[in-house]
């Protein structure tokens, strides 16, 4: 992404048009920025355009169906889990801040972020938060642990009908055993993090916006 500039973050509603005012092409609802800038201003504008393009009936929010219309997402083995991650706490709608909040997890880690003020909340794209996002994709009931049963269910989502139940159980057992350290038969977030400590999470879970 464009590195966060030193200008004060403007909301895109203030972008001037040819007459010095905003022209007719302005987005209908200017994207609010109630949280600390998790993405740069230019990217915010881009994402807002995208949000509006996905919101087919101009409702002002996205529903699960809007996301399911994206072909490349619908064929993704984890597509359903990713769509669910936009709707925490059983809600049926995701507004623009919620949309950006999820996408902010994938912002590449910039060097400036490392000397953070310790009092500020951890940025959404920190390694820990990226791992937490991935952890959530497995943790179906959000209890902080990935049980063997949940692992099985997610695996089933990913392979459809292509793999037998027995093979899938073997895979699930092996995976949970390898990561489980305290022997409770489930993978906690700490164990998850530990088993992936050598993985270059920052690079694998980052999307760089070019404009």
Can you tell me which of 4, 37, 79, 98 binds other proteins, judged by CB under 8 A? 79
Q: In whole angstroms, how far apart are CA 83 and each of 51, 73, 146, 154? A: 14, 9, 19, 14
Does 163 engage in binding with other proteins (CB under 8 A)?
yes
Nearer to other proteins by Cβ, of 5 and 91: the residue is 5
Stretch touching other proteins by CB under 8 A, among 28-36, 109-117, 119-127, 187-195: 187-195
Number of residues that bind other proteins (CB under 8 A): 67
Does 189 engage in binding with other proteins (CB under 8 A)?
no
Whether 23 contacts 47, CB under 8 Å: no
Task: Give φ, ψ of 146 to 5 degrees.
Answer: -100, 110
**Nearest approach, Cβ of residue 117 and other proteins (Å):** 26
Does 158 engage in binding with other proteins (CB under 8 A)?
yes
Task: Give φ, ψ of 145 to 5 degrees.
Answer: -135, 145
- 66: nearest Cα among 47, 94, 106: 94
- Residues with Cβ within 8 Å of 34's Cβ and at least 6 positions away in sequence, in order, are 97
Query: Collapsing DSSP states into helix, strand and coil, what is residue 19?
Result: coil
Q: In whole angstroms, how far apart are CA 91 and each of 6, 15, 174, 198? A: 36, 33, 34, 35
Does 53 engage in binding with other proteins (CB under 8 A)?
yes
Residues 96-115 that bind other proteins (CB under 8 A): 102-103, 106
Binding site for other proteins (CB under 8 A): 5, 15-20, 23-25, 42, 46-47, 49-50, 53-54, 56, 67-79, 82, 102-103, 106, 133-134, 137-138, 155, 158-163, 167-168, 170-171, 174-175, 179, 187, 192, 195-196, 199, 201, 204-211
């Amino acid at each position: 992404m464009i590195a966060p500039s030193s200008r004060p973050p403007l909301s895109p509603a203030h972008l001037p048009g040819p007459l010095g005012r905003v022209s007719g092409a302005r987005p209908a609802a200017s994207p609010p920025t109630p949280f600390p800038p998790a993405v740069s201003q230019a990217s915010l504008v881009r994402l807002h355009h995208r949000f509006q393009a996905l919101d087919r009936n101009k409702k002002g929010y996205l529903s699960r169906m809007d996301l399911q219309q994206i072909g490349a997402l619908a064929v993704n083995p984890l597509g359903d889990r990713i769509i669910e991650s936009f709707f925490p706490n059983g809600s049926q709608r995701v507004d623009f801040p919620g949309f950006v909040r999820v996408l902010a997890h994938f912002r590449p880690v910039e060097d400036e972020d490392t000397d953070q003020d310790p009092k500020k909340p951890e940025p959404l794209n920190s390694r820990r938060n990226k791992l937490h996002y991935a952890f959530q994709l497995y943790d179906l009931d959000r209890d902080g642990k990935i049980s063997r049963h949940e692992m099985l269910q997610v695996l089933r989502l990913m392979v459809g009908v292509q793999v037998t139940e027995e093979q899938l159980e073997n895979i699930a057992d092996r995976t949970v055993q390898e990561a489980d350290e305290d022997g409770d038969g489930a993978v906690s977030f700490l164990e998850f993090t530990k088993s992936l400590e050598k993985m270059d999470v920052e690079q694998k879970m980052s999307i760089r916006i070019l404009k």
